[in-house]
Amino acid sequence: MRVEFLFWAGCPSHPEARELLDDVLAARELDVEVEMREIFTREEAVELSFPGSPTIRVDGRDVDPEGAALPPALTCRVYRLPDGRPSPVPSRQQLEEALLS
């Protein structure tokens, strides 16, 4: 399994998202090395189809396929929690579904 974690340092959400991802991986006993990649420029964002920070892909699939369709940008990404509230990090449920599908 390949897990990529793309982030832009201008958004403060990536440490929280990485912690949540590590927690889910540990809880599911998934021994996976997460590939971290920092995005620095708009050109990189375009090249990597990076819709905002953080973006997490499992075997190339975004954990939030709907949000993945947004235009590339150096910005904080908006996720939706199961109850509909906006969040700067994906939900545990989104991560679990992506990692276990």
Partner 1 sequence: MSAIATTPTFDLPGVDGRNHSLEAYADAPVLVLVQSCNHCPYVLAWEGRINDFQREYRDRGVRIVAISSNDAEAYPADSFEAMVEHARGAGYEFDYLYDESQDVARALGAERTPEAFVYDADRRLVYHGAVDDSREEEGVSAHYLRDAIEAALAGEAPPVADTPPVGCTVKWRS
Residue numbers at the binding site for partner 1 (CB under 8 A): 10-13, 42, 73, 75-79, 85-88
In the complex, least distance from residue 89 CB atom to partner 1, rounded to whole angstroms: 8
> 53: closest CA among 35, 32, 33, 38?
38
In DSSP notation, 60-90 reads TEESSHHHHTSPP-SSBPPEE-TTS-EESS-
Toward partner 1, which CB reaches closer, 68 or 73? 73
Q: How far is the CB of 25 from partner 1 (least distance, A)?
A: 23
Min dist. Cβ of residue 29 to partner 1 (A): 28
